């Protein structure tokens, strides 16, 4: 029998949704906040993060127009060394089948999530006038009863149902939510009422049935009551497309301070396969945190475009919460008070700012702030329309030594923030600081 081929229309938004997932181990995945698990990928039993990342990349090829079966073969090849270990032929054959099934599940889970996320963004975009969604299944023998019970259901987009049941909402779910025009829904509702269709067979539910569905998770269909509530527990499927676009700080602020800090601390200890621009393996926290740093950089860049002046955006590194936005002059912005307050409060900050002059290279003042406030400043990012740079701490100096170096570096800039030495002299100094391990110097994405 020829292998089943699934044809998928290329969708770069869906491909990006997969490619942007952070590869983590199962133990790290289990410690992630539910809203952030959808931004990660793990394979149970696999500790090699590079292999998990290759699985992720194979899945991302499908939304780009790649072959489903080729991708599944690559995934099976990556996970087989962990699952296929038996020498006895029958046991080995069973393990090989299990590896193939696992590859199919990974591809369906993350691939379908990506396509669903792309649809969700379009369907819930502010300018989208349609107010209804219709739940549809594949209508074959593999559809589970609780999913089949939902087939054809039409509900408003703002109904709480879609917060928990936007497909895929369970492992292996192949269902979809399609948009319905308001007039079309009104016509269906009138026809069902005129034809005296029983309430438990109607596509457009009555307010009472909607209330029961959302309160108890039960739905009556043709005289049979179905439990359609999402599964609970450690192994339950968790994916909410509405949270994918939420910035990290909004997610963190929805939790109590202790939970948020515990999560942040754990993710700062967990490394991922991806390297940053300095060649160091990123932490899971830095991977997640990069999205809010990019938002800060964009804000500073937009301010510079409007005014021709610098602006610094300061953010709490441990909670992702914004701290301050400070406007400055063309080549200088004063943040002394913000740094003093952060030191007094025991905060650690990331700083993003624009360089109106167009050179993304960190200045002596930028570098001095990083070193002199090593207990406060985690990183300093600079951004221009042509790109950006970031400096972070190296490992070779004590805090006192950093402060001494910072004082010397400050002699290389004028009071107004401009260079007191030639650009080449400063560039050479910056490269030496990086080569000596005083700091790490990389390129912003």
pLDDT, position 13? 85
Residue 58 Cα distances to 19, 38, 64, 111, angstroms: 9, 17, 10, 10
d(CA 240, CA 172): 15
Q: Does position 4 have pLDDT exceeding 60, yes or no?
A: no
> What is the structure's pLDDT at 126?
86
Q: To which residue do tokens 């020829």 refer?
A: 2
Q: How confident is the model at residue 6 (pLDDT cuts 50, 70, 90)?
A: very low
Span 158-168, pLDDT tens digits: 999 999 999 99
The distance from CA 49 to its chain's CA centroid, rounded to whole angstroms, is 17
Q: Give the pLDDT score at 9.
A: 57
Average pLDDT over residues 392-416: 85
- The pair phi, psi for residue 343, each rounded to 5°, is -65, -40
pLDDT given for residue 2 in this prediction: 39
Give residue-wise pLDDT tens across range 312-368: 999 999 999 999 999 999 988 999 999 999 999 999 999 999 999 999 999 999 999
Arithmetic mean of pLDDT, 188-208: 93
pLDDT level of residue 392 (50, 70, 90 thresholds): very high
Average pLDDT over residues 56-76: 94
Q: Give tens-digit pLDDT for 23-34.
A: 999 999 999 998
pLDDT of residue 144: 95
Tokens of 348: 């650690």
Question: pLDDT band for position 229 (50/70/90)?
Answer: very high
- pLDDT mean over 284-291: 93
pLDDT bucket at 445, cuts 50 / 70 / 90: low
Among 108-112, 218-222, 395-399, name the one with the lowest average pLDDT: 395-399
**Is residue 8 over pLDDT 60?**
no
C-alpha dihedral, 427 to 429 to 434 to 435, nearest 10°: 110
Give me the pLDDT at residue 331, please.
85
Average pLDDT in the chain? 90
**Confidence at residue 5, expressed as pLDDT on a 0 to 100 scale:** 41
pLDDT at 236 (0 to 100): 78
pLDDT of residue 401: 82
What are 88-117's pLDDT values in tens digits?
Answer: 999 999 999 999 999 999 998 898 888 898
Q: Is the pLDDT of residue 306 over 50?
A: yes
- Asked whether residue 173 carries a pLDDT value surpassing 70, the answer given is yes
């Amino acid at each position: 029998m020829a292998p089943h081929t699934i044809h998928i229309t290329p969708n770069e938004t869906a491909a990006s949704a997969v490619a942007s997932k952070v590869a983590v181990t199962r133990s790290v995945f289990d410690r992630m906040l539910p809203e952030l698990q959808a931004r990660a990928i793990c394979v149970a039993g696999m500790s090699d993060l590079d292999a998990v990342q290759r699985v992720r990349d194979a899945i991302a090829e499908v939304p780009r127009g790649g072959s489903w079966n080729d991708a599944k073969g690559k995934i099976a090849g990556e996970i087989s060394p962990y699952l296929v270990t038996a020498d006895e032929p029958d046991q080995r054959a069973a393990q090989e089948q299990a590896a193939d099934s696992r590859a199919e599940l990974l591809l369906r889970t993350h691939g379908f999530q990506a396509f669903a996320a792309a649809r969700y963004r379009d369907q819930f975009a502010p300018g989208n006038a349609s107010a209804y969604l219709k739940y549809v299944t594949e209508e074959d023998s593999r559809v589970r009863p609780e999913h089949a019970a939902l087939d054809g259901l039409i509900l408003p987009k703002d109904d709480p149902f879609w917060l928990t049941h936007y497909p895929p909402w369970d492992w292996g779910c192949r269902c979809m939510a399609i948009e319905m025009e308001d007039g079309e829904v009104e016509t269906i509702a009138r026809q069902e009422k005129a034809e005296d269709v029983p309430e438990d067979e109607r596509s457009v539910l009555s307010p009472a049935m909607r209330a029961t569905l959302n309160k108890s998770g039960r739905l009556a269909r043709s005289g049979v009551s179905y439990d359609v509530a999402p599964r609970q527990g450690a192994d339950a499927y968790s994916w909410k497309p509405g949270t994918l676009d939420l910035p990290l700080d909004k997610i963190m602020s929805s939790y109590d301070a202790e939970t948020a800090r515990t999560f942040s601390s754990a993710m700062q200890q967990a490394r991922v396969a991806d390297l940053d621009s300095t060649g160091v393996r990123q932490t899971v926290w830095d991977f997640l945190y990069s999205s809010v740093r990019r938002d800060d950089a964009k804000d500073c860049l937009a301010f510079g475009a409007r005014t021709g002046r610098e602006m610094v955006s300061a953010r709490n590194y441990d909670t992702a919460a914004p701290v301050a936005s400070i406007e400055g002059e063309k080549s200088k912005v004063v943040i002394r008070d913000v740094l003093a307050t952060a030191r007094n409060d025991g905060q650690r900050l990331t700083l993003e700012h624009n360089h109106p002059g167009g050179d993304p290279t960190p200045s002596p003042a930028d570098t001095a702030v990083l070193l002199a406030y090593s207990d406060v400043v985690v990183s300093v990012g600079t951004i221009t329309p042509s790109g950006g740079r970031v400096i972070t701490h190296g490992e070779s100096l004590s805090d006192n030594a950093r402060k001494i170096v910072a004082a010397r570096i400050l002699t290389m800039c004028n009071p107004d923030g401009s260079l007191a030495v030639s650009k080449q002299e400063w560039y050479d100094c910056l490269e030496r600081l990086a080569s000596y391990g005083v700091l790490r110097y990389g390129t912003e994405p």
